[in-house]
Structure 1
């Protein structure tokens, strides 16, 4: 599946389920803080998406797409605890792109790959409006948090750490 296919699959999912959404075109940007300013919303309403490598033991590795509010960090210790893992870290770019079917900066808060488990923080699914790049650097999407939860069906767990600006 190409990145353009990922975009089309997302739009088809939204249209086929009659889910309200809004597309926002902007200059190409993948940094959460910068693109939030371009879209005109608080960074806390952005969906920050990271693909993590979760090593359960010496032989077993899983990949997890985590989604936290844009102004928060991912609490890797919380993710490690959820999976009783030995190690949790950010996946390499090639693996993340293959599993998320999108380039870094455009990863959707949806998983279209059975090998990529989806975990979202409760603060994401309760947002009145949730914003994210729509598998493209030049187009974003706004959707209600509860609609996102209904469609994406993430495992909802407390995985957000302190705000990204906190020391």
Structure 2
């Protein structure tokens, strides 16, 4: 299991010369919106980390898929990005073993050799800073987006769920 997640993150970012800050705040649930409000950031700045198990095509691996908090993941696209056929969220025990964190506290960084990090490229194009929980529900890191990308250097793949189609004009009128 991974220990001292906050300490490992701050060491990684400090040694990498990142512009970041640690924000201690009241613990909140798993809602990305509520933690964004507490941090004083936009929802889309949040880096939502999903710990997944990917299977199929002879593949069985763990993946940490990271995307903007205001978007949804298409787990089949995430599976395909690593050569698998299907992906599912890891169990709470697997999440703890692979990240040292509970659900809702997982940062967008992998310290486990068997947890592959994949970020949706949209994460790096919308905001100058990213915000994420840093090992606990009561502590976050806000970091310069370019610094995060440079230091963590994640693989990237498009795995966002396509937006729902807009109904045709007048379709709801009868």
Instruction: Return the TM-score normalized by structure 1.
Output: 0.89
SS in 2 for 1:131: strand
2:18–2:148 contact (8 Å) kept in structure 1: no
Structure 1 stretch displaced more, 7-16 or 81-90? 81-90
CA distance in 2, matches of 1:163, 1:138: 31
Larger radius of gyration: 2
Aligned to 1:82: 81
2:79–2:85 contact (8 Å) kept in structure 1: yes
Aligned to 2:170: none
SS in 1 for 2:79: helix
Aligned length: 163
Aligned to 1:158: 158
Aligned to 1:136: 136
2:46–2:130 contact (8 Å) kept in structure 1: yes
1:53–1:64 contact (8 Å) kept in structure 2: yes
Matches within 5 A, 1:12-161: 12-29=11-28, 30-57=30-57, 60-126=59-125, 127-161=127-161
What is the CA-CA distance between 1:147 and the residue it aligns to? 1.1
In structure 2, the gaps of 5 or more residues are: 167-174
Structure 1 stretch displaced more, 79-88 or 150-159? 79-88
CA distance in 2, matches of 1:93, 1:35: 20
Q: Kindly report structure 1 stretches of 4+ aligned residues shifted beyond 4 Å.
A: none
2:62–2:114 contact (8 Å) kept in structure 1: yes
What is the CA-CA distance between 1:2 and the residue it aligns to? 5.3
Check 1:55–1:131 CA distance in 2 against 1; reply closer, same or farther (3 A cut): same
In structure 1, the gaps of 5 or more residues are: none
What is the CA-CA distance between 1:163 and the residue it aligns to? 6.5
CA distance in 2, matches of 1:66, 1:80: 10
CA distance in 1, matches of 2:122, 2:91: 26
Instruction: Return the TM-score normalized by structure 2.
Output: 0.86
SS in 2 for 1:72: coil
What is the CA-CA distance between 1:77 and the residue it aligns to? 2.1
CA distance in 2, matches of 1:64, 1:28: 26
1:48–1:70 contact (8 Å) kept in structure 2: yes
1:56–1:62 contact (8 Å) kept in structure 2: no
